[in-house]
Amino acid sequence: MDVFVQLILNGILLGSMYAIISVGLTLIFGIVRVVNFAHGEFLMVGMYAVYLLAANLGFHPYVSAVPIVILLFAMGALVQRFIIQPLLGADEHIQIFAMVGLSTALVNLALLIFGADLYSVNTPSVRQSIAFGGYTLLIGQLVMFFCALALVAGLHFFMQTTPLGRAIRATAQNRNAALLMGVRVNRIYIFSFGLGAACVGLASALLMPLYPVTPTIGTYFVLTAFVVVVLGGMRSMYGAFAGAMIIGIVDSLSGYYIAPDLKEVVYFAIFILILIFKPTGLFGLGRGTE
């Protein structure tokens, strides 16, 4: 029983990592209606930026979260303004090709600059574990869990109580009606894409002490994030958080009871079943985002 509880705790902490990445992906799709296939590469760019700040300026990865979030927000806003916005009236497959092309370009640019070597930062304090009620918890994962809770709570407060948040919700629910009400939809799209990318910036600062960065690291995380987003519902921020917890627990249990090499098979099987039997996800919405 102790082992099972430890695995559940590990899964919840792991799920918080997926939650931060997936919430950003959900925001972009729920508001802009674009599937960001370069989401993983945004994470990779953020992690390299964290490494450079740590290696050259001595920044702790958690301290670097502030400039990295700003950097990724600006990067997302620029991508929306100059790549996605001119294609909003085009067929969806054109937008997909554009984002896949951006993803490929970012990976190859990283290979050109950094090569295929692994880069990491030395933060032993983050990798230490603490005992809690007879169970062992990693400090870095605990920080990530509380940051995930704070992120979802902060986004909820922002969306529900601020004029900009209400404008974003109106745009997500009905673009044309928002236009008639005087909402500057194109600016909302730019801000929303930047906000989704900023979530990845936070994730990169939290991940860097725990994982080394390579040009292809984003692929692994974004594939799992897509499973989480589909499981939770493509437009539900809370569904993405709940889906991340479920996938984290499935990952932990299947890695222990089945085989570490087969855990991806388990949750991709769940992904396929969700697509077949409930394509809107467990918490999916018909329109808009929440």
∠253-21-5 over CA atoms, to 5°? 25
pLDDT of residue 287: 47
Q: How far apart are CA 23 and CA 148, in angstroms?
A: 9
Proportion of the chain above pLDDT 70, given as a percent: 97
Query: What is the average per-residue pLDDT within 193-209?
Result: 96
pLDDT band, very low/low/confident/very high, at 259 (cuts 50, 70, 90): confident
Closest C-alpha to 125, from 63, 48, 70: 63
Proportion of the chain above pLDDT 90, given as a percent: 66
Q: Map out the domains of the chain as residue ranges.
A: 2-277
CATH 1.10.3470 fits 2-277, yes or no: yes
Is the overall model pTM greater than 0.95, yes or no?
no
Q: Express each pLDDT in 75-119 by its tens digit.
A: 999 999 999 999 988 888 899 999 999 999 999 999 999 999 999
288: alpha, beta or left, given left = phi > 0 and alpha = psi -120 to 50? Answer: left
Residue 126: pLDDT over 80: yes
Closest C-alpha to 198, from 82, 71, 63, 44: 71
| Lowest model confidence (mean pLDDT) among 164-168, 170-174, 226-230, 286-290 | 286-290
